[in-house]
Structure formats: structure tokens, C-alpha cells
Amino acid sequence: MTDAPVVLDVEDLTKHFPVRKGFLGRTVAQVRAVDGVSLHIRQGETLGLVGESGSGKSTVGKSVLRLLDPTGGRIHLHGEDITQVSGEALRDARRKMQMIFQDPYASLNPRLTIGDIIMEPLENFEKFSRTQRRERASDLLDRVGLRHEALKRYPHEFSGGQRQRVGVARALALNPSLIVADEPVSALDVSVQAQVLNLLVRLQREFNLAYLFISHDLGVVEHISHRVAVMYLGQLVEVADKETLFTNAQHPYTEALLSAVPIPDPTRKRKRIILPGDVPSPINPPSGCRFHTRCPYAEPRCKAEIPAMRELSPGHSVGCNLR
Ligand code: SF4
């Protein structure tokens, strides 16, 4: 996998949202949703991006897809800089990147048949005849484990898991190389989650897809990821391959997240680390290490020194002054 070509390369990505006030809508502050995030994903690889709600992980996903314009940094797709592209170049980039949404109920148009939903991206991007589009939609349904008859039915006739399969089929319609999946199973019953995750793994192998898999649930991320990046308050704090992260996490925030993941063995117990307080506001993040207000190991210097990401071993980077 380390030899596979890099599909997505993000350097120092920043996304700030202005906070406006008053009649004239003056900018009075900035929500620093993402601040200096760098990551890459290779062909056939899944990078899990985890963090609490408000950590900025979904903003990273939307910025990568250029659904949001980055404030700073660079996004390369297959080596091409797509940070500022527009018009035809942006359409071309979007064809190669697709998204699977969190809510399979809200993300499908209830007035369209499943066939029309899957064929919609083809109409927008490719010059296929209606017959060819139907054949493609039928083939995609088959690949996601739904029957051909589903083409003529409507979203409300399907369960949550089946709808998410339709969402996956739609995402595959244009043969993308990168899929950003934002909490794709968190709205599903636990019994259905594993089926959809297994489907994503199978399709990744079949199409050599790169996944940016965004989730707050480390258990889900462990199931599907090759590498994991942990985010806190707009910044990455730890990146490692899955085995290293789950057995040898070095950042105190990762330790706390891991302590909440249940162990399937009833004879073993993990000591739960409860972090004090809530995630601070990204409008005015804490000085120095942004985690210092909640970190059990914080020292006075953590308030002043901004920890840089340091590589502790090949592929394992941590942003903590004490590591
Ligand atoms: Fe905790 Fe300090 Fe490390 Fe931040 S730099 S994670 S506050 S020990």
C-alpha cells in the first residue's frame, strides 16, 4: 500500500468562517474550523478521520471536495493542484471525487425513483444514452447488493441500510478515485452498520478506491481504516497506521478517545478517561496546545508552546510537547 500512488495530498489546509454582526454585516471574529491540516491518501487506502463533534473533520471533507473554498493551504488530486480551480477543471475534479452522506433518509430525493437518483450524476457529467444510463444504474445496484427491480421504486420503500446502499451506488456512478464518506453508518442500526462497512471494503478492493472516512466512532474507524488521523479543535493531533494507533497511541486526546471504545472481551476492562469540560470554541481556541484546558498531563509550558507534529516512528506522528 505504501507504494500505491497518492490520490489525495492535503498540505496545511485552513478553513475559517467569518462571524458577522450588525446591520452592515461587519466581520467581528473568525471561526477557525480547520487550522493547518496535512494528510494524504493512497490508491486503495482508507484514512479514518476521527474526533468529537466540532473538531472540524467534516469541514476537512467538504474542503477537500471543494464544496467549501479553503482559506489557505493546498489540495492536490492525482498530483494536480485543485485548491483554486473553477469551471471545467473543477467539474473534472468533482467527477473524480464523490461523497457518501451521513443521513440516507435526507440525502436521497424522495420524488425520484432509485434509477433516476443513480443516473442523475451520469446525466450531469457523461454523454450516455438513456439505455446506457439504465444499464449502468442496474449494474451498480447489483454491485451494492440490491435487486434490479429497485430501479423503479422510491426511497421511502427501502430501509436505512438499503438507502445507504443506493447512496453508495450513486457515489460510484462516475467511477471516482476518491470517496469522502462522512459518518456513513452513524444513522444506521448497529446490526446494519457492519453490512454497509463490509460493502465499502469490498467495493474498495474491486475499484481500488481511496476513502476519507470521517467518523466520531473509533470502533467503526477501526473496522475499515488502514491509517487513522485524530483531530481536535481544527488540528491533527496524531496520525498512525491502525495497529499502531490502537495499541500504542501517544497523544493524551487519542488515549481518552480509545478509553471509551468497548472491548469485546468481558474479562478485560479499560480504565475510562473522562476529559473535563467541553471542546472550547473554535472562535477563540486556547493558546499553545489547544488541548491544554482538558489534558490530564498539561504542564505550564503547554499554555505557551504550540506543539508541532513530530514523527515518532515511520508513519506515526504526534503533536504533543511531552512526546
Ligand atoms: Fe497535553 Fe501538553 Fe501534550 Fe498538549 S502538549 S497534549 S497539553 S501534554
User: Does the CB atom of residue 235 touch ligand 1 within 6 A?
Assistant: no
Secondary structure, 3-state, the chain: CCCCCEEEEEEEEEEEEEEEECCCCEEEEEEEEEEEEEEEEECCCEEEEECCCCCCHHHHHHHHCCCCCCCEEEEEECCEECCCCCHHHHHHHHHHEEEECCCCCCCCCCCCCHHHHHHHHHHHHCCCCHHHHHHHHHHHHHHCCCCHHHHHCCHHHCCHHHHHHHHHHHHHCCCCCEEEEECCCCCCCHHHHHHHHHHHHHHHHHHCCEEEEEECCHHHHHHHCCEEEEEECCEEEEEEEHHHHHHCCCCHHHHHHHHCCCCCCCCCCCCCCCCCCCCCCCCCCCCCCCCCCCCCCCCHHHHCCCCCCEEEECCEEECCCCC
- Give 93-143 pLDDT, tens digit per residue: 999 999 999 887 788 999 999 999 999 888 877 677 888 889 999 999 999
Give me the residue spans of the domains in the chain: 6-96+176-318
In the prediction, which pLDDT does 105 show? 79
- As a whole number, mean pLDDT of residues 263-276 equals 77
Q: Is it the case that residue 12 has pLDDT exceeding 70?
A: yes
Please determine, looking at this structure, whether the domain spanning 6-96+176-318 carries the CATH number 2.102.10.10: no
Q: How far is the CA of 297 from the centre of ligand 1 (A)?
A: 6
230 lines ligand 1 (CB under 6 A): no
Positive or negative, the CA dihedral 69, 279, 187, 57 is: positive
pLDDT at 271: 81
Residue-level pLDDT at 130 = 85
Residue 263 above 80 pLDDT? Answer: no
pLDDT at 300 over 80: yes
The residue ranking higher by pLDDT, 34 or 190, is 34
- The pLDDT score that the predictor gives to residue 270 is 72
pTM for the whole structure:
0.94
Of all residues in the chain, what percent carry a pLDDT higher than 90? Answer: 80
Q: What's the confidence (pLDDT) of residue 162?
A: 95
Task: Assess whether pLDDT exceeds 80 at residue 262.
Answer: no
pLDDT value of residue 1: 66
Provide the residue type at 168 as one letter: V
Lowest mean pLDDT among 143-152, 256-265, 296-305: 256-265
Distance 302 CA to ligand 1 centre (A): 6
How confident is the model over 265-276, as a mean pLDDT? 78
| Chain segment 43-90, per-residue pLDDT in tens | 999 999 999 988 999 999 999 999 999 999 999 999 999 999 999 999
Ligand 1 centroid – CA 216 distance (Å): 21
Least confident of 25-34, 102-111, 206-215: 102-111
Ligand 1 atom closest to Cα of 297? 8
Distance 32 CA to ligand 1 centre (A): 20
**pLDDT score recorded for residue 126:** 67
Q: Verify whether ligand 1 is closer than 6 Å to residue 115 (CB atom).
A: no
Q: Can you tell me which atom of ligand 1 is nearest the CA of 252?
A: 6
In short, whether 232's Cβ falls inside 6 Å of ligand 1 is no
Question: What percent of the chain clears pLDDT 70, i.e. is strictly above it?
Answer: 98
**Ligand 1 near 291 CB (within 6 A):** yes
